[in-house]
Amino acid sequence: MTPDNLNTATATNAITYLMRNYVAYNAWANTTLINWLRTYPEDVLDKEVRSSFSGIKPTILHIWQTQAYWLSVIKKEAFEPEGEFEGSIEDAFATLIQQSEEFSAYVHQMTAASIEENNLVVNPWFNCDFANFEYIQQVMNHSTYHRGQVTTISHHLGLSGAPMTDYNYYNIFGKKKDSQ
């Protein structure tokens, strides 16, 4: 999409535009949150708190692993779950950013037809046969939900000044003019 029509869906269908914009937003939001977290000492970030996950690192790992699973679904590749993560919190941060960028790059190269194509998912938890754009929307929404949890966990750790990572904020201030 060219910069002169960046804010409209005229160059491609609306679903394709939205999915490409949403995965770019997700990568931006994850990077923005991680860059803020990196301003604090690792020993603070590694502390455990009472939450749905025991801290920032497990929540970041969950976001990354869920994105990796859904990307494998969209690519129609076998998912190979990671073993026990042995890396540092910085390793988790770097991996989430890399995985988010990979997800974005993949969706940006998909055709409109492949974004709208149905994709059968059979796994131990559920079976469904939805269009790929619904899976993309699901995982981006899931990541947004857990970024909120990271912000809440951060507040419990006494951290302040979490960045604004809302979708509209991205559209107004965070979007690169050449990202579409």
Instruction: Kindly report the CATH number assigned to the domain that includes residue 124.
Output: 1.20.120.450
Which residue carries 């699901």 as its tokens? 138
Q: Round to whole Å and give the CA distance between 165 and 54.
A: 22
Q: Which of 34-43, 46-55, 71-80 has the lowest mean pLDDT?
A: 46-55
pLDDT > 70: what percent of the chain? 91
Q: Is 180 a member of any domain? A: no
Token readout for 109 is 């190269």
Residue 22: predicted pLDDT: 97
Number of domains the chain is built from: 1
Residue 177: predicted pLDDT: 58
Q: Is 134 a member of any domain? A: yes
Average pLDDT over residues 86-115: 97
Mean confidence (pLDDT) of the chain: 91
- Is it the case that residue 176 has pLDDT exceeding 80? no
User: pTM of the predicted model, to two decimals?
Assistant: 0.89
Residue 40: predicted pLDDT: 97
Range of the domain at 44: 3-174
Q: Is 155 a member of any domain? A: yes
Give the SS3 label for residue 127.
Answer: strand
Residue 12: predicted pLDDT: 59
Q: Is 179 a member of any domain? A: no
Residue 74: predicted pLDDT: 97
Q: Round to whole Å and give the CA distance between 75 and 55.
A: 31
- Give the model confidence (pLDDT) of 134-150 as tens digits: 999 999 999 999 999 99
Residue 12, number of CB atoms within 10 A of its CB? 18
Average pLDDT over residues 74-81: 91
- Is it the case that residue 46 has pLDDT exceeding 50? yes
Q: Is 128 a member of any domain? A: yes
